[in-house]
Each structure stands twice: as C-alpha cells, then as structure tokens.
C-alpha cells in the first residue's frame, strides 16, 4: 500500500506509542560502560553516550522491526525501497566485519542467540503494508540486548549519514520557525520523511520513518541542524 493511503490518525497513534518507549538496562559491555563512564565506543565509527540510556527500548524496537521489514521486502520485492535497503545492507556489512555470524539481521545459521528471537513479534511488516502500522510487542524489555540496541542506533545514524542532507533544509527550517511549538515537531519531521523527501513511499516502512522522526527529536534537532549527532 502507498504511504499516502494510510490514515493520518493511525500514523499519529504510531508516533505516540513510539515516543512513549523508555530506556532501560540490558546485559552487555556497552550498558556497563554507559553506567560507569557515560560513554561507550566501538572503534572509531560507533559511539553511545549518556542520553542513549533513555532510548535503549527505541533502538531495540527499531532493530527488531527493521529485521521484520527487511525479511518481508525480500519475499515481496515490489515493496522494497532501494535506498532504505541500502541502509540495512551497510549496517549488515559493518556488523559482519566486527561480529561475523551475529550481525544484523540475525539470520545467519551460526547466530548465537536464536532463543531470544522467539520473543520478536512477527507480522508487523505485513500489518503495516496492509495499512495498519503498529509497534505492538516492541515495547517488551525482552527485546533489549547488546546486539539489538547497538544495531538500532547504527540504523538511525546510517540513515542520517545517507539522507541527512536530503531532509536537513526542511527539518531545520521548520525547527527554527516553530521552535516554541515542539509538540508538533515529531509529526512534522515524520511528514517530511513520508511526503516531502519521498524516502518512504510504501506503508511497510512507515514505522521506520516513525522511529527516525522520534529519535531525531529526542536526540536533539538543534544538534542535527548544527551537524552534531552522536
């Protein structure tokens, strides 16, 4: 289904539910470092900072939904968004180089955490493609792992790296002129992603756009506009 055919009320409800996702702990070196040092670095390409501690569920949910959407698009090529698939492919390449069989999208025969995949909600991508975008089940804290949280942030940062310049003028112009009306900021950025930038033409990808919009606001649009995003 085309994005423009999905009812706005459903998109607004999706954004509300994403925005209500909180942070929380998970087992792993990155969480331990964030607690102890307010920072975690993986080589020179990836970093987590103190404000990421409040976004861990959102990152994990983005990772889990992206896996579902990526697999759905593989089975239904007519719903692929080539530019977005490139984002996922680049995240896969980055993680494969470092984590080998434990890389996103977690479908390698030798993946080490297959039992945890049982908690991943299914059919969300299909629901979105049918015009009913949902994050049902993505609020579950059992989805928070070292590998899902870090992948979610990688997807977010890779999207901004690839498409930040394409959305920057519209996002920053709106932010500067409506800074005192921040309650509508998430909705407007989401609208920019879905309509003006033309990056998400199929409803399958509406939840991904929602996560990007909310994360951009939560991380700081002012920082994005100044070219500072970690």
| Domain total in the chain | 1
- Give the Cα separation of 141 and 63 in Å (integer): 13
Q: What is the pLDDT of residues 145-192, one digit of tens each?
A: 999 999 999 999 999 999 999 999 999 999 998 865 566 899 999 999
**87 in a domain, yes or no?**
yes
Q: Is the pLDDT of residue 42 over 60?
A: yes
**209 in a domain, yes or no?**
yes
**33 in a domain, yes or no?**
no
**57 in a domain, yes or no?**
yes
Buried b (16+ CB within 10 A) or exposed e, 24-47: eebebebbeebeeeeebeeeeebe
**36 in a domain, yes or no?**
no
Band (198; pLDDT cuts 50, 70, 90): confident
- Give the Cα separation of 47 and 62 in Å (integer): 17
Domain that holds residue 95: 3-26+52-225
Structure-token match 């889990």, residue found: 64
- Give the Cα separation of 93 and 103 in Å (integer): 8
Which DSSP helix (H) or strand (E) runs through 225? helix 221-225
Residues near 114 by Cβ (< 8 Å), separated by ≥ 6?
A: none
**216 in a domain, yes or no?**
yes
- Give the Cα separation of 225 and 190 in Å (integer): 16
**47 in a domain, yes or no?**
no
**163 in a domain, yes or no?**
yes
Q: What is the mean pLDDT of residues 27-56?
A: 95
């Amino acid at each position: 289904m085309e994005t423009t055919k999905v009812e706005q009320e459903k998109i607004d409800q999706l954004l509300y539910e994403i925005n209500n996702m909180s942070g929380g702990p998970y087992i792993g070196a990155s969480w331990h470092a964030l607690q102890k040092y307010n920072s975690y670095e993986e080589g020179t390409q990836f970093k987590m900072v103190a404000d990421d501690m409040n976004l861990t569920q959102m990152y994990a949910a983005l990772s889990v939904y992206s896996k579902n959407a990526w697999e759905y698009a593989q089975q239904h090529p007519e719903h692929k968004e080539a530019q977005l698939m490139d984002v996922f492919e680049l995240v896969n390449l980055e993680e494969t180089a470092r984590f080998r069989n434990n890389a996103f999208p977690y479908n390698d025969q030798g993946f080490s955490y297959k039992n945890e995949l049982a908690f991943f909600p299914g059919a969300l991508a299909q629901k979105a493609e049918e015009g009913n975008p949902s994050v049902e089940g993505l609020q579950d804290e059992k989805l928070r792992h070292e590998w899902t949280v870090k992948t979610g942030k990688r997807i977010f940062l890779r999207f901004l790296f690839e498409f930040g310049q394409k959305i920057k003028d519209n996002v920053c112009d709106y932010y500067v002129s409506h800074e005192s009306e921040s309650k509508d900021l998430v909705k407007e950025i989401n609208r920019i992603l879905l309509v003006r930038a033309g990056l998400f033409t199929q409803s399958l990808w509406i939840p991904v756009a929602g996560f990007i919009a909310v994360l951009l606001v939560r991380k700081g649009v002012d920082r994005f506009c100044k070219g500072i995003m970690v």
